[in-house]
Every structure is written in structure tokens, then in C-alpha cells.
């Protein structure tokens, strides 16, 4: 239960930073802080794509995967609710107008691959166990990714970052669900690919 609560809290603060700042540096710093705060408790995933990658890597048991993902989405939804209560309108990641769907999916896949690869390399690799760079590396990867393609894809790289705000938007009459496939296919595919590549590159 502590793991799930930590994933809820970390994801909530990540999405709060996204909603209130929409600034890649603030988002990356918040993620870094939350990873350091919760990494020793839950692993500090705060992202269903990361949880999937870590599961394929073999560093989380399958019985915990659904609980992690549900906790992450609930944390993101809570952040979206708080944002709505403060601002009286919803928010959610969205691709740039006129960008072809397959291009945004591809970019979300590529940059989620980068994020998950960094997580696996710095937070799950026994060769550098006990390092203190993992939070910084993960936060900076998100910052760099958001600066690079956020204006094109919406810069989610994380299904819960979309799902939580989408649920809030739909409850209040919005149509953000139109972007659902983009933020499921891209990030989850990136997480799976990162785990496969990591396992290949780190064969004993």
C-alpha cells in the first residue's frame, strides 16, 4: 500500500507542475524531486510506461503493475481536479494543430524510449547500484524531451499525464478523449522498446 500511495503522490505533484507551470524546467525539477523522495519506497515511476518497462526488465512483480498504474492515473486525476478547482477550466496535453497523428505517435514513442532507457540504466542497473544521479538524469531527460518536441506532441511521454487530465476534461464536457490513442500507443510502445533494447544491451 505504501508503494501505491507514493506513486499517487509523486504523479500528482508531477501533473500539478505540468498544469500550473507548463514549463519544461519546472516539470523536470519536480519529477527529479519526486524521484528522490519516493525512489526508495516505490521506485519512483510516476508513469505507466516506466512501470511497464521496469516489469519487462524484471524489477517489479506482475501482481503490482495494475496497482501502480491505477495509483498513477488517480494521482494525475487528483492534480487535474485541483487545477480545475483553482482555475475553473481543465487542461490536458495536446498535439500541435495540423500535425499528422503518426508523427506525434512516433515522437512520443522515441522520447518515452529515451526516458525509460534512462530509468532502466540509472535506477535498475546493479553495476551502479546506490548512485545518486538517477533522479537528476531522469528529470533532465524529461526537461530536454519537453523542450525538444513538447510544442509538437504536447510532451506527455507518460500515459497518466494525459489520462488523469482527460478524465477531468470529459467530466466537465470536454472532448480530449480524441487524443487517447496518441498518448497510449506512443508512450507504452516506447516503454516496451526501451526494456527490450536494455535487456539486449545488458546481456551477461
Q: Using CA atoms, how far apart are residues 144 and 150, in angstroms rounded to an integer?
A: 9
Residue 29's pLDDT is: 97
Of 165, 195, 203, whose CA–CA distance to 60 is shortest? 195
Q: Using CA atoms, how far apart are residues 125 and 196, in angstroms rounded to an integer?
A: 14
Of 20, 15, 24, 9, whose CA–CA distance to 155 is shortest? 24
Residue 124's pLDDT is: 83
pLDDT in tens, 127-161: 777 778 899 999 999 999 999 999 999 999 999 99
User: Contact, 164 vs 75, CB < 8 A?
Assistant: yes
pLDDT in tens, 94-132: 999 989 999 999 999 999 999 999 999 998 887 777 778
User: Where in the chain are the domains?
Assistant: 2-201
Query: pTM for the full model?
Result: 0.95
**Whether residue 23 has pLDDT greater than 80:** yes
Q: Considering only the top CATH level, what class is 2-201? A: mainly alpha
Q: Using CA atoms, how far apart are residues 25 and 52, in angstroms rounded to an integer?
A: 25
Q: Using CA atoms, how far apart are residues 112 and 174, in angstroms rounded to an integer?
A: 26
Residue 56 binned pLDDT confidence (cut-offs 50, 70, 90): very high
Q: The dihedral of CA 194, 17, 67, 168: what is its sign?
A: negative
Amino acid at each position: 500500500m505504501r508503494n501505491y500511495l507514493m506513486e499517487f503522490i509523486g504523479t500528482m505533484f508531477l501533473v500539478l507542475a505540468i498544469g500550473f507551470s507548463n514549463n519544461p524546467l519546472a516539470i523536470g525539477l519536480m519529477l527529479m524531486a519526486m524521484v528522490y523522495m519516493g525512489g526508495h519506497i516505490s521506485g519512483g515511476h510516476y508513469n505507466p510506461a516506466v512501470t511497464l518497462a521496469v516489469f519487462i526488465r524484471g524489477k517489479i512483480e506482475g501482481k503490482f503493475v495494475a496497482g501502480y498504474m491505477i495509483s498513477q492515473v488517480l494521482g494525475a486525476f487528483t492534480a487535474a481536479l485541483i487545477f480545475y478547482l483553482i482555475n475553473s477550466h481543465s487542461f490536458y496535453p495536446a498535439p500541435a494543430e495540423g500535425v499528422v497523428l503518426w508523427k506525434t505517435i512516433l515522437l512520443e514513442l522515441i522520447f518515452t524510449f529515451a526516458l525509460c532507457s534512462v530509468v532502466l540504466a540509472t535506477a535498475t542497473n546493479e553495476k551502479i547500484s546506490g548512485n545518486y544521479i538517477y533522479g537528476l538524469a531522469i528529470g533532465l531527460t524529461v526537461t530536454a524531451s519537453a523542450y525538444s518536441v513538447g510544442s509538437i506532441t504536447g510532451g506527455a511521454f507518460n500515459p497518466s499525464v494525459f489520462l488523469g487530465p482527460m478524465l477531468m476534461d470529459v467530466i466537465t464536457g470536454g472532448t480530449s478523449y480524441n487524443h487517447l490513442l496518441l498518448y497510449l500507443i506512443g508512450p507504452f510502445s516506447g516503454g516496451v522498446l526501451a526494456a527490450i533494447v536494455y535487456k539486449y544491451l545488458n546481456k551477461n
